[in-house]
Amino acid sequence: MKVTVRFFARFGELLGNNREIEAREGISVADLVKEAASGNKAGYDTIFDEEGAFRDFVIVMRNKKRIRTQDAGSIQVGEGDEIAVFPPVAGG
């Protein structure tokens, strides 16, 4: 199944902004992001800690709706989904 992973700001600089991925059935959001980031150690280490958990400041969205990073390991990706990964957002 095809899904899109979008990395923003610093994550995008390290990993590329938009990635079309052929994902396997039943993959979780967390595992999909890990696979997408695995080709760049600096990018992976910016998003995930030493245990492979999302860092506290990472924001993950599925189809434009924010999901808790703690739940990303149990949420399965579906055909055509868009997963977005953001660093902390600040504004003024």
Domain count, the chain: 1
* 67 in any annotated domain: yes
Place 90 in a pLDDT band, splitting at 50, 70 and 90: low
Full domain range(s) for residue 39: 2-86
* 92 in any annotated domain: no
> Is residue 82 exposed (0-12), middle (13-18) or buried (19+ Cβ within 10 Å)?
middle
Q: Distances in Å between the alpha carbon of 9 and those of 24, 36, 58?
A: 27, 16, 12
Per-residue pLDDT tens for 2-50? 999 999 999 999 999 999 999 999 999 999 999 999 999 999 999 999 9
